[in-house]
C-alpha cells in the first residue's frame, strides 16, 4: 500500500504527535509525517517538528483579513503537500468547514474521555478530567474519532479505558489518560495506513 501523507494540526505540546512520529520511525505505521501546522508559533509541536526535520507552518487566522483568505491558504498548503489525512493533536481551534468538507472523513482527533460522554464545547484539557471526577465515574479513557462539523461528534474509531480512583485529582487522571493516548492514537493510525480501518 501507498504510504499515507500526514499533516498534524497542533496548538501545544504535541506529545500525541510525537508518539505517532515515533511509531512511523519505528516502521509501525506506513506513513510519512509530511508537515505540522500550528496556530501557535511558540508551540512545543513546532519545536518537535524542528527536531524531527519535519516541515512546519505557523498558520493563524489572526494573520489573515478574512476567513476566506485563511481557509484558501490552508487548503492550498494541504493540496500542495498532497496530504491524505489530517491528524489533530491538541489542536485548540475549530477546523474550518471548508477543510472538513474537502477532507471528508479523513480528519482524526483524540479526545481524553470516553465519548459520547464528556465531549462537546468547553470539554477540553483539564475541564474534561474535572468533569469525570465530579461525576464520580469509575472509568475514563481516550477516544479516537473522525472529525465532522460538530465538536467530538464523528465516527468513533477506537477507545481505550483507564480506571478512575477515588483519590484521583484531575492531574492524576490526565496523566493516566495521556499515557494511553500515546498507545491508542498511533495504533489507530497504523490500522488506517494498513487498511484495517477504512475511513
DSSP state, residue 152: T
Q: Which is nearer to ligand GRF, 20 or 31 (CB)?
A: 20
Sheet holding 31-38, edge to edge: 55-58, 31-38, 4-9, 85-88, 107-111, 139-146, 156-163
d(CA 156, CA 116): 9
Kind and range of the H or E run holding 4: strand 4-9
Q: How far is the CB of 109 from ligand GRF (least distance, A)?
A: 6
Instruction: Say how many residues touch ligand GRF, by CB under 6 A.
Output: 14
Q: Is 54 in the site for ligand GRF (CB under 6 A)?
A: no
Collapsing DSSP to helix, strand or coil, 60 comes out as: coil
Q: Which is nearer to ligand GRF, 84 or 181 (CB)?
A: 181
Pick from 46, 70, 83, 112 the residue near ligand GRF by CB under 6 A: 112
Strands 156-163 and 139-146: antiparallel
Q: Is 89 in the site for ligand GRF (CB under 6 A)?
A: yes
Q: Is 16 in the site for ligand GRF (CB under 6 A)?
A: yes
Q: Which is nearer to ligand GRF, 89 or 162 (CB)?
A: 89
Q: How far is the CB of 126 from ligand GRF (least distance, A)?
A: 9
Which residues lie below 8 Å from residue 126, measured CB to CB, with a gap of 6+?
170, 171, 174
CA angle 180, 186, 192 (to 5 degrees): 130
Q: Which of 70, 25, 47, 26 is nearest to 78 (CA)?
A: 70
For ligand GRF, the binding residues in 160-179 under the rule CB under 6 A are: 178
Q: Is 12 in the site for ligand GRF (CB under 6 A)?
A: yes
**12 catalytic residue (yes or no):** no
Q: Which is nearer to ligand GRF, 64 or 137 (CB)?
A: 137
Binding region for ligand GRF (CB under 6 A) out of 32-40, 51-59, 105-113, 158-166: 105-113
Q: Which residues are catalytic?
A: 111
Which positions touch ligand GRF (CB under 6 A)?
10, 12-17, 89-90, 110-112, 178, 181
Amino acid at each position: 500500500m501507498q504510504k499515507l501523507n500526514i499533516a498534524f494540526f497542533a496548538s501545544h505540546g504535541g506529545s500525541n504527535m510525537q508518539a505517532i512520529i515515533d511509531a512511523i520511525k519505528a516502521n509501525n505505521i506506513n506513513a510519512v509525517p509530511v508537515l505540522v501546522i500550528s496556530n501557535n508559533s511558540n508551540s512545543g509541536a513546532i519545536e518537535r517538528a524542528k527536531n524531527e526535520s519535519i516541515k512546519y507552518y505557523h498558520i493563524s487566522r489572526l494573520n489573515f483579513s478574512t476567513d476566506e483568505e485563511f481557509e484558501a491558504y490552508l487548503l492550498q498548503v494541504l493540496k500542495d503537500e498532497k496530504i491524505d489525512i489530517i491528524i489533530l493533536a491538541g489542536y485548540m481551534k475549530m477546523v474550518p468547514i471548508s477543510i472538513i468538507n474537502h477532507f471528508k472523513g479523513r480528519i482524526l482527533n483524540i479526545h481524553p474521555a470516553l465519548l459520547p460522554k464528556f465531549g462537546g464545547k468547553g470539554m477540553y484539557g483539564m475541564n474534561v478530567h474535572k468533569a469525570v471526577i465530579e461525576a464520580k465515574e469509575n472509568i475514563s479513557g481516550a477516544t479516537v474519532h473522525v472529525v465532522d462539523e460538530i465538536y467530538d461528534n464523528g465516527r468513533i474509531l477506537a477507545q481505550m479505558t483507564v480506571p478512575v480512583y477515588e483519590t484521583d485529582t484531575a492531574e492524576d487522571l490526565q496523566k493516566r489518560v495521556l499515557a494511553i493516548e500515546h498507545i491508542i492514537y498511533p495504533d489507530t493510525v497504523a490500522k488506517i495506513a494498513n487498511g484495517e480501518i477504512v475511513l
